[in-house]
Structure 1
Amino acid sequence: MHGFSSQITFARTFTKKRATKEIMRFEEAPYKELVSTVGQLPPETGGLLFGSRDDYVVKRFHYDTSGSRSGASYDPDPDVLNPIIQRIWEEEGLALIGWAHSHPRGVRRLSGDYGNGVGDLGYLRAIFNALPNLEKFLVPILYSTNNGKLEIMPYVAYRDNVKDYREAKLKIKHAPQKPAFAKKALDAKIDKSVNPQLIANTKIFAVGCGGANNIYENVFRLGLGHLSVMDFDTVDDSNLVTQGWYADQIGKPKVEALADTFSRLVPFKHDLKRRLTCLNEDFLALDDQTLIEQAGDADLLMFMTDNFWAQARGNRLALKLQKPAIFAMMYERAQCCEVSFIIPGVTPSCHRCAVSNRYKAYLEEGYENDVGSEGSLIFQTHLLNSIIGELALAILHRDLPEYEHGAWFDKNKGRNFLQTRLNPKYDDPYFTKIFGNEPRAVCFDSIWQNIEPECPPKYKSCPDCSGSGDLTKAVIDSTMVKLPQA
């Protein structure tokens, strides 16, 4: 356990205020932020200190850019700061516990009360009047390095007598040092199954950040080079149970919550911005050129959404860009799930060929999906995610037979649509046809269906890939799915 250690020796020779046994404690991060702003700028700047009023440890510092200042005075603007104080309390549970500011060198004491909350003591009285339960307030004064050596006078003011503020002893709580991350050790653990260098050079473009957040987290753990993920939804209460988010992420855009989760992965925290692009946008609302710019350099596209129109556009985008792609969906009450995938130059059929009856229902019969997530638990979500993750690795290693995830499709090029039964109650004639009444086939079994390219005379030509059997020959103008003409 890391305790507090003294950081600076404070001279008390020139102050008439009697020192007490009070200790002013800062966590390391807000202390560094205070020193790097107020402690370096010219005199008369400041900011707010936040923490718990139970222990008065400073856990957050907010530098004030809105107050009026001159070389001899600094006055905070309550109209600007009050909403910030409220937001930090609501979002982080941290209360206002202090105010730090700098003085010109030689002015070691708090300025007086000049009325209307003006002057240091006037501002303190206004704060105590506004916060009747506040018994004390931290008011450290700094001499900045702008014109000499950094000095801090850690004063504490009290409700019962604002003028009788006391000088405390400042201590900084150092953050524990994190162990160094040994990437070579990680690579040694996984290099029989996957190629670490290949993963590090891989870029993925993904649409949908609900239940799929666990897939992205796990490929990131393997050392994924870059992930661009698009979703315009926010985390709600039910997502904690069905998708694996956390309580402190409720209300956040899902892509921001994903970035928050990724920041906890110590090995990658230092370069998170370089390796993760979060797009809080509607995939269906963007024009083709924007999507091509965002997904054009990806090695794999992933459409992790149960929205038919998004998956349909994703199929056309993948064909236009000639990129491998994965599409996934959970069925009603999570009794079964499906995954389809395309690899131009390998799989002969596209996603539309695999689910052409679904296209017909939506485009010709006016079908609207009313299946929700009721009955779907995190266990089924993670099982589906594991299947998708394994397929993603197999697609990336398709030309590397020396790895466990390599050469999966050499003998199964046409089997690019799989269904996995997640519940013994799932009643589907196709599973009965394949497994019959075999008592050992209960659930968690998968069927890899051979999908024929749709072309005459057996089918109408697929409007997306033409059904030629060679996806590299697909010609796509717009990625938007066209409704059939009357």
Structure 2
Amino acid sequence: MEPKTNNYQMLMNAETHNAIRDHIGQNRAERGGMLGRDSDGVIRHFEADHKGRCNAAAYDPDIDYLNGVIKGWKTKGIEFCGFVHSHPPGLVHPSGHDRWYAGEILSCFKRLEYLVIPIVQTIPDTGRFEIFPYIAMPEKEDRKQCNILKTSLTVLEGLKKSGYFPTDNTLRRQDWIQKDVPLVQSQYPEHSSTESKKAGSQTTWRYYGNFEHSIWKSSPLNPNQLPAVKLSFPAVIHATMSQSFRQQAAAMVLAQRYTERQRSGVDLESLDQTRLILIGAGGGSSLIRNSARMGFGEFVICDHDQVSDSNIATQQAEPDAIGLPKVEALANDLVRLNPAASVLAIAEGIETIDDQKFSLLINEPLRFRHFAGINGCTKTILLVLTDNFEAQARGHRLGLQFGLPTICAQEYREGRGAEVTFTVPGVTPACHRCITASRYSAYLKEGYRNNVTSAGAPIFAAEMLNAVLGHILLAVAHHGTSHPRWGSMIDRLGSRNLIRVRMDPDFDQFFGDTFNKRLVGAKNSDCFFMLDSLFLPQTPDFGQTPSRPVCPDCGGTGDLRYSIGTFDDTTIMRQDNTDYECERRVRTAQHPKYALTAYESARRTA
């Protein structure tokens, strides 16, 4: 997000301004130093950090040395007030690392009203020297939490000439980044034997990313796992200097350039720290690719299928990918579209992954983030993008068992319409099974089997469904943040977690009276309705009528957090039962902090 503007002014004398230009502005990013101000608030002191750890996309100060300088300043009445450092070309805002680091400093220097953190664009990188002034303002209750604010810079005296500096060394296309980022990311070695490829062995799991050495080699997700090494903080710093980290740092810079125009529309830091676990890599492939374009940072993709000839016209597959596992074809694309992403491609169906392995998919790190701990992932979202009923049902149960926000979708016959269901524990009262109870009944009691394929469906139908899914994904990913557009979207939608998408004006003739009865009065001879979506309110199945018995999966409590940890084994489908056995199982779960819901009260009085 674009930092807010404030009324604070950064005052600096010309000598300090020119010293910053000479030490930082004349060298390629990143490089930095420390700032001090006198009692009148003017920044007159700059300490160049000659021993700080610098690479193409990161600057870590030499803390021991600079602490000594601060002590010397204090005896002279000079107040430490901040750091100044350079960013690669085009990146003129403080990064997530910068904000985190500012919070750490502000928590130690409790007398500082705010921290000065200007960003420099350098002459070798951009052809000009320019300072972009920012401050970090701490929150009152927790100084580690701070807001990045724009300010203004005033240089009080005459200064050396600044602006455009032609130089033979100016980088026009950032070739240094392209050189450091591998076109095809690291993955564990090929396995040639049929035995090593058997389902469930984890040897069909392939990793794509720049952390082969620092993360993947010792990960429990890696079939060739080396003994895990617990990293201490000094070891973490050492790891940042490895070739693996240098590649990732350069990749992050390139990814930030790709997403620069998205910065004002989404919270790029939140998306980068979100892991998407995807069941199905067929019709939803363009959604997955576009998620990488938007800046989502971690992907786990499960699909046993291979790219076939017919997928070229229905799933945006490329002809040169025919015969490849769909997950591998996607993974190669994702790391090109978002060079900072990490992808775990699992060429298996979800039925081969037990709950223990699925827990690893949620919790094990895929990337090393020196400013966010070992695991840079802060949120996990499960997407079920398959029309296979058993796989959908398993995905629903996994979402409930592990308390994950879950998004499911499927396209209707001939692409005339589609549906999306989503659950967010603590917000949406009905689970996926409550919403699609009639479908469960048809499969489990009536022996129904789905014979709907992509035959006759234009690819544009899948693209429209994916566009709807993308908007829901952004809303779920931003839920709980302060983003002005997306942060409150899920709360506004509330219980309306069934979406029907109409791509044919005769939708209701094929799939039931959905749109027409809700648009009565809106239609007239001048209007024609198509290509629209309805968000329909849903209630949980809590036994309110004989035709709506208690939901075997969520128990109809109205609070999906009650369902966390209530499944002995999610690979087993719970059957309908009217003796409320499932309710007993849910009620025995230890969730004392959750209050009695309105749905439970209604059931008690029924």
Alignment TM-score > 0.5, same fold: yes
User: What is the aligned counterpart of 1:277 among 331, 337, 344?
Assistant: 344
| Offset from partner CA, 1:380-429 (integer Å, 9 cap, x none) | 11111111111011011122343322211223210001001011232231
How far off its partner does 1:187 sit? 4.8
User: What is the aligned counterpart of 1:482 among 574, 587, 594?
Assistant: 574
How far off its partner does 1:433 sit? 1.0
Partner Cα distance (1:484, 1:449) in 2: 24
**CA separation of 1:183 and 1:230: change in aligned 2, threshold 3 A:** closer
| Offset from partner CA, 1:295-327 (integer Å, 9 cap, x none) | 356610000000111111111100110010000
Give the match for residue 449 of structure 1: 536
Give the match for residue 305 of structure 1: 386
How far off its partner does 1:338 sit? 0.2
**CA separation of 1:191 and 1:442: change in aligned 2, threshold 3 A:** same
Give the match for residue 92 of structure 1: none
Give the match for residue 295 of structure 1: 362
User: What is the aligned counterpart of 2:313 among 227, 238, 241?
Assistant: 241
- In 1, are the aligned partners of 2:552 and 2:575 still within 8 Å (CA)? no
Structure 1 SS opposite 2:276? strand
Higher relative contact order (CA 8 A, sep 6+): 1
**CA separation of 1:344 and 1:485: change in aligned 2, threshold 3 A:** closer
**CA separation of 1:195 and 1:180: change in aligned 2, threshold 3 A:** closer
Compare CA radii of gyration and give the structure with the larger one.
1
- In 2, are the aligned partners of 1:331 and 1:337 still within 8 Å (CA)? yes
| Offset from partner CA, 1:352-398 (integer Å, 9 cap, x none) | 01100000101111111111111112211111111111101101112
**Structure 2 residue ranges without an equivalent (≥5):** 1-249, 365-378, 579-606
TM-score under structure 1 length normalisation: 0.59
The size of the alignment, in residue pairs, is 304
Give the match for residue 498 of structure 2: 417
- In 1, are the aligned partners of 2:307 and 2:324 still within 8 Å (CA)? yes
Partner Cα distance (2:423, 2:322) in 1: 35
**CA separation of 1:464 and 1:430: change in aligned 2, threshold 3 A:** same
Residue 520 of structure 2 corresponds to residue 436 of structure 1 = yes
Give the match for residue 397 of structure 2: 316
Give the match for residue 344 of structure 1: 425
Give the match for residue 283 of structure 2: 211
Partner Cα distance (1:304, 1:421) in 2: 18
Q: Which amino acid aligns with 1:470?
A: D
Partner Cα distance (2:486, 2:561) in 1: 24
Give the match for residue 332 of structure 1: 413
Q: Which amino acid aligns with 2:278?
A: A
**Structure 1 residue ranges without an equivalent (≥5):** 1-177
Q: Which amino acid aligns with 1:233?
A: D
- In 2, are the aligned partners of 1:283 and 1:310 still within 8 Å (CA)? yes
Partner Cα distance (1:484, 1:368) in 2: 18
How far off its partner does 1:224 sit? 1.6
Q: Which amino acid aligns with 1:260?
A: N
**CA separation of 1:356 and 1:208: change in aligned 2, threshold 3 A:** same
| Offset from partner CA, 1:267-296 (integer Å, 9 cap, x none) | 51xx56xx0110001111332222222235
Residue 448 of structure 2 corresponds to residue 355 of structure 1 = no
Give the match for residue 261 of structure 1: 333
Where do 1:79-118 residues align within 5 Å? none
| Offset from partner CA, 1:235-261 (integer Å, 9 cap, x none) | 111111010001101111101111232
Give the match for residue 390 of structure 1: 471
How far off its partner does 1:483 sit? 4.1
- In 1, are the aligned partners of 2:306 and 2:323 still within 8 Å (CA)? yes
Residue 551 of structure 2 corresponds to residue 462 of structure 1 = yes
Partner Cα distance (2:416, 2:325) in 1: 28
Structure 2 SS opposite 1:276? strand
Give the match for residue 27 of structure 1: none
Q: Which amino acid aligns with 1:351?
A: H
**CA separation of 1:231 and 1:454: change in aligned 2, threshold 3 A:** same
Aligned CA RMSD, in angstroms, stands at: 2.3
User: What is the aligned counterpart of 2:452 among 371, 386, 391?
Assistant: 371
